[in-house]
Structure 1
Amino acid sequence: MNTSNEWTREVLEGYIFIYVANVDFKESYEERQLISDKIDAETSAKLHREFAKDNDYESITKIQDAISRLGYTDDEKEQLIEDVKKLLTADGEYDAAEQSVYMALKRIIT
């Protein structure tokens, strides 16, 4: 699962959620719950291992490539951005780092 060329929408969205949840270097219980709503436990474990090996540039590149390849509609992109915002605020905090990642992902996705 180390190339975004093979990712499905479900896998891409799971990877994005893991990326977002780790902005502050820790996944809260609420964030883990939202991730488990997107992807099954096996996929989550694989994506967590992959994410741990990726640097920020690799993560962003994978996300950009998969978004382009999977042909999201404008409405689907907007829903994905809303889901990202929901995850970023799930733990009751929304700090500067999270705001920065939100704006960057919004530019990448839309």
Structure 2
Amino acid sequence: MNTSNEWTREVLEGYIFIYVANADFQESYEEREIISEKIDAATSAKLHREFEKDNDNQSITKIQDAIARLGYTADEKKQLIEEVKNLLTADGQFDAAEKGIYAALKRVIV
């Protein structure tokens, strides 16, 4: 699962959620719960391993490429951004690192 050319929407969104949850270098319990609602445990484990190998530029490039390839509509992109914000605030915090990731992803996705 090392190329975004093979990702489904579910896998892409799982990767985005893992990327976002690690904005502050720590996945909270609440964030892990939301991720588990998006993707199954096996996919989550694979995506976590992939995410750990990727640098920030690789992650953003994979997300951009998959968004373009999978043909998200404007409304679907807005919904995805809203889900990202919900994940970022799930632990009751929205710190500077999380705000930065949110702003960057908003530009990448929308």
TM-score w.r.t. the length of structure 2 is 0.99
Distance 2:105 2:28 in 1: 20
What's 1:14 paired with? 14
| CA displacement at 1:64 relative to structure 2 | 0.4
What's 2:58 paired with? 58
5+ long unaligned stretches in structure 2: none
| CA displacement at 1:52 relative to structure 2 | 0.4
The number of aligned residues is 110
Q: CA offsets, 1:9-34, max 9 Å, x none? A: 00000000000000111100000000
Within 5 Å, give how 1:1-110 maps onto structure 2.
Answer: 1-110=1-110
| CA displacement at 1:44 relative to structure 2 | 0.2
- Cα-Cα RMSD: 0.4
Distance 2:51 2:104 in 1: 18
5+ long unaligned stretches in structure 1: none
Percentage identity across paired residues of the two chains = 80
TM-score w.r.t. the length of structure 1 is 0.99
- Other structure's SS at 2:60 match: helix
